[in-house]
Structure 1
Amino acid sequence: MKSLRIVNFKAFTDRTFDLKPLTLLSGLNSTGKSCLLQSLLLLQQSYQQRLLPDTGLALNGDLVSIGTGRDALNESADSDIIGFEVIGDNGTKGIWRFQSERDADVLALLSSPVIDFPTEIHYLSSCAQSKPLDFDLLDRLAPGSSVLLEHPEHRLHPDLASELGRQIARAAARGVQIIVETHNDHLFNGIRVAVHGGQIKPEAVGMFYFKAVERQGRRVIDVASPRIDRNGRIDRWPDGFFDQFEKDLDQLLEPINV
């Protein structure tokens, strides 16, 4: 997948994300990170329930549960149409448009014709697990596979989280497309170390930092896209982007007033 466009779904009225072999999502809670993962999971879920390619979008199922149309539709949307577009690396395009009825848990498909873009996406989330996930799966997946990882660092010691970051980078370098949502700076730095060590090219790594801001009395989501260079350095650090350690250290270095 080269890009994903989200229209009127939850946090976004219209936003396109360029996807890399390894795409990292970060930001505070309730800032729209999960919308990207949920968009892809909703499509896969609907194919698994055989509602796509012909019928509609299943908002609830084994992969993700959104609720009803009122929960799915962006509160600032100027229409009740929810849409997703996925462009593949070979130029193929999947286009889906759905009617968002407020009380419906299956949204009727409106697109005609639909250019189908079926893909098998593996989804791993450690949030509901009582122990760390088995990440040997990353080594077993064939090139061309796609994986969504939700907070994979959960319950991992910092050194293991860093090693997981390097493992994720190595898997992406051999052709497994990975989208990972994380708050963990150790996992993030493990990816940076992998770039520095030449295990993955910097242009194969994309990053999005999500932040809620107030504009004209409305809450909107800003998305920054820091870049990483060959040395593993980041070109800009938006406030809140894996910088809490430095903020805390600055406070500890301040003199104590007795």
Structure 2
Amino acid sequence: MSFRMSVEGFKCFDHLELDLSGLTLFTGFNGAGKSSAIQTLLLVSQSLRIAPNGDRIDLDGPLLHLGTAHEVARSASQGRIAISFEEDGVQAMWSLTAERRVRYLKVEKARFSADGVALDTIGVAAPLGHAASALCEKVCGLTFLGASRLFSNTAWPSPPITTPFGDVGKSGEFAPYWHFQIADEEVPEERRQPGEERTTVRGQVDAYLSQLFPGAMANTDQLLGSDLIRLDLALGSSGWVRPGNIGFGLTYAFPLIVAMLAARPGQLVIVDSPEAHLHPRAQSELGKIVARFAAAGVRMLVETHSDHFLNGVRLAIKQGSLAPSQAAIYFFGGASQQDHGVQKLNIDDSGEIDRWPPGFFDQAESDLGQLLGLLG
């Protein structure tokens, strides 16, 4: 089931249209538009959380801080921006205007349609009862985990009441809360780590962490008389310690594992640079883990610069854990090319990719060729 997103006149894009699969990878050069494409989803999501009945898309909020309207409108667009999402014949589209230095985009028109029947309004959310309201709820309820993680504290906060279920926070700050809340819930079989006998979230978090870091475990508890959650981690024979006293790779991966286990069926989980701070073997294993959750019905959108993570996904496809039709790769090649250099690459059932444009994970071969030339 494909989820289509499109944007016009936003930042570096004149026009961009992408189909998100069960697992979609955004790869490519720095500054080529990967984060900007993701921000279109985040902008609408945070506005639906802040003021669903409002008539503007907020540029500053719980998910993003993008500044003022003139900073995000493409100069050639004359202040006109359009964002739309579509799934199963249902579409939500917002026509927006950027009014100089205000910190929002004004909604000039919102069009919500289903099966060709359109309803035009001025607002962010589709009216209750309209088919597009479920699509708006899906965008509102996404989880975004950014590249920066905050895990040196001893105690962790509870999320605001408006936070969607399972949203671990863009810095992972609510992951201990969700781990504590759902630790004893049963995990559906298709999401379980193969070979792990424990079927609860607590057991599965430990199993997936151990797949990345042998012997890793996590434990959470509520501090007496407060809403704060304590997180302790263990690695091998280290015993329980606070996150600041253990390898940062473990604390970096913990929120993503919790987010995927907590996600509702069909929920969109967006993660930036999941490979950071991980050993190459762990990066590859994480690619396999993310692929498993995508196959189990969690829609995953991953921005990555890791060939090891990519190869983990390719291995999952070759081993039959994820169907090729459930995966998509977009390579962002830069503004000098058509469609801002965004190309869709295809994977077959043996894990092979149909083409490798220049700059697509080819640096190791390039460097090795130069080294062999020097050695020769």
Q: TM-score of the superposition, structure 2-length normalised?
A: 0.64
Which protein, 1 or 2, shows the higher relative CO under an 8 Å CA cutoff with sep ≥ 6? 1
Q: Deviations over 1:105-162 (max 9, x none)?
A: 0221111424543121001123344531313221332321110011111111111111
Instruction: Give unpaired runs (5+ residues) of structure 1.
Output: none
Q: Which amino acid aligns with 1:125?
A: G
Helix, strand or coil at the partner of 2:320: coil
Alignment map for 1:54-73 (pairs within 5 Å):
54-73=54-73
2:143 maps to which of 122, 132, 152:
122
- Identical counterparts, % of pairs: 33
> Which of the pair is proportionally richer in helix?
2
Contact 1:151 1:180 in 2 (8 A): yes
Counterpart of 2:15? Answer: 14
Cα 1:100/1:213, change in 2 over 3 Å? closer
CA contact (8 A) 2:70 2:79 kept: no
Q: How large is the Cα RMSD of the aligned pairs? A: 1.8
Question: Does residue 3 of structure 1 match 2:4?
Answer: yes
What displacement does 1:53 show?
4.1
Matched, 1:173 2:172: no
Aligned position for 1:157? 279
Q: Could you tell me which runs of 5 or more consecutive residues in structure 2 were left unpaired when the two chains were aligned.
A: 111-119, 127-131, 152-247
Among 122, 136, 144, which residue is 2:257 paired with?
136
SS of aligned partner of 1:253:
helix
Larger displacement relative to structure 2 (109-118 or 189-198):
109-118
Query: What whole-Å deviation, never above 9, does each CA across 1:12-53 have from its counterpart, x for those lacking one?
Result: 111111111111001111110011211101101111111x34
Match of 1:236 in 2: 355
Q: Is the 8 A contact 1:127 1:151 kept in 2?
A: no
Counterpart secondary structure, 1:133:
helix
Aligned ranges for residues 26-45 of structure 1 at < 5 Å?
26-45=27-46
Stretch moving more, 136-145 or 15-24: 136-145
Tell me how far 1:201 sits from its aligned partner: 0.4
Change (3 A) 1:53 1:40: farther
Deviations 1:157-214 (A, max 9, x none): 1111111101110110011101100001111110000001000001111111111243
Q: In 1, Cα distance between the equivalents of 2:350 and 2:322? A: 11
Q: Which shifted more, 195-204 or 68-77?
A: 68-77
Note if contact 1:59-1:66 (Cα within 8 Å) is conserved in structure 2. yes
Contact persistence 2:288–2:315 (CA under 8 A):
yes
Aligned position for 1:198: 320
Paired with 1:48 and 1:123, the residues of 2 have a C-alpha distance of: 13
Matches within 5 A, 1:34-113: 34-50=35-51, 52-77=52-77, 79-88=78-87, 90-112=88-110, 113=120
Q: Distance in 2 between matches of 1:214 and 1:33?
A: 15
Q: For residue 345 of structure 2, give the secondary structure of its aligned residue in structure 1.
A: coil
Q: What amino acid is the match of 2:336?
A: E
Change (3 A) 1:95 1:188: same
2: CA distance, partners of 1:180 / 1:142 = 18
Aligned counterpart, 2:365: 246
SS of 2:336's equivalent? strand
**Cα distance in 1 between the residues matched to 2:8 and 2:20:** 17
Letter in 2 for 1:241: F
Q: In the alignment, residue 85 of structure 1 is paired with which amino acid?
A: S
Task: Give SS of 1:221's match.
Answer: helix
SS at match of 2:315: helix
Matched, 1:208 2:330: yes
Give the AA of the match of 1:136: I
CA deviation map 1:69-93 (0-9, x unaligned)? 111101232x3211110001x2211
Under a length normalisation based on structure 1, what TM-score does the superposition of the two structures give?
Answer: 0.91
Alpha carbons of 1:128 and 1:140: their partners in 2 closer, same or farther (altered >3 Å)?
closer
Alpha-carbon distance between aligned partners in 1 of 2:336 and 2:347, rounded to the nearest angstrom: 28
- Match of 1:209, SS? strand
